[in-house]
Structures are given as structure tokens and as C-alpha cells.
Structure 1
Amino acid sequence: MQTFNIHEAKTHLSRLIEMAAQGTPFIIAKAGKPLVKVTALTTPEAHQEKRLGFMAGKIHAPDDFDRMGETEIGQLFGGEL
């Protein structure tokens, strides 16, 4: 894996970003000490994106969901509801 110093990375940033985007990661170093690894991100295609509500209509909660186990829970905490 290639290593570039900060000055060189700033000078050739566009070229280096394109290189990483095409699958060739690289390291940026300061005074010879590696600081960061630059690599391409894999983002989902538009049709693969997760979104809220994708299970709408597939799951049903009972009408008394907020009261289920009410008596047992009350007993666990030392009282009746």
C-alpha cells in the first residue's frame, strides 16, 4: 500500500481520491508516521437503501399491547395495578 506525506496528499488530492475510489487504498503520513488510511466507501444502490416503514403492513401489534402483562408486572414491583 502506498504512503504519501501530507504535503504530497494536499498537492495531489484529486488524483489520490480518484485512485482510492477505484479501489486502491493509500496511507497519509506525517513526518513518516502513518496517520490515516484512505479507502473507498461502499454505498448501497438507490434500490438497496434501507428506509423507515419497510415493514409497514407486515407486522401487527394487538390493541392492548401497552397493557399486556400489566398484572404480572405490577406484582413484580410489589403492588397491583
Structure 2
Amino acid sequence: MKTYNIYDAKTNLSKIIKEVQAGKEISIAKNGEPLVDLKLHQPKKNKIKFGAWTGMIDIPDEKLVGIDPEIQELVYGKDWDKK
């Protein structure tokens, strides 16, 4: 792991960013002690998971009579009618 002090990191920020993009591990130190480690940002992947509330809430079946089957599936999951 390559280490830069804060002054050098400020002076060479563009170079350091390119090194991180290339996969190198970089540490920034203050008074010779490592302070932070830099890593490449990984975007968060948001996925919709249908039926994610299955088992977490309890709605009596009589309350769901006449409600759209898609909504029932969102609340109870794909096999909601096979309890």
C-alpha cells in the first residue's frame, strides 16, 4: 500500500485518483500515521424485491377480499394464496 502525507496528497490529487482507479491501494497519513485509506467508489445497486414484507406484517385475509391480486402478491409474496 502506497502512503502519502496530507500535503503530498493535496499536491498530487489527480495522480492519486488515477492510481486508485488503476486498482492501487492508497493511504493518506498525518504525522506519519495512516489516517484514511482510499478506494474506488462502487455504485449502490438498488433492486426491487417483490414480497419483501412477507412474514413481517399480518393483515387478516378478510381485509384483502376484493383487493387487487397484484397488491396481495406485493404484501404476501408470489404464493400468497397457498398458505
TM-score, normalized by the shorter chain, greater than 0.5: yes
2:23 equivalent in structure 1:
23
Instruction: Give the drift of 1:32.
Output: 0.3
Contact 1:20–1:38 (CA<8 Å) still a contact in 2? yes
Per-residue CA distance 1:30-54 (angstroms, 9 max, x = gap): 000110011113336xxxx4333x5
Instruction: Give the drift of 1:2.
Output: 0.8
Q: In the aligned structure 2, how far is the partner of 1:38 from the partner of 1:17?
A: 9
1:79 equivalent in structure 2:
none
Mark the runs of 5 or more structure 2 residues left unpaired by the alignment.
62-83
1:78 equivalent in structure 2:
none
Q: 2:60 aligns with which of 57, 67, 72?
A: 67
Taking only the aligned residue pairs, the percentage that are identical comes to 32
Query: How many aligned positions are there?
Result: 56
TM-score in terms of structure 1 length:
0.56
TM-score in terms of structure 2 length:
0.55
1:71 equivalent in structure 2:
none
Q: Which runs of 4+ in 1 moved over 6 A?
A: none
Code of the residue aligned with 1:51 in structure 2: it is: K
Q: In the aligned structure 1, how far is the partner of 2:30 from the partner of 2:4?
A: 9
Q: In the aligned structure 2, how far is the partner of 1:33 from the partner of 1:19?
A: 21
Mark the runs of 5 or more structure 1 residues left unpaired by the alignment.
69-81
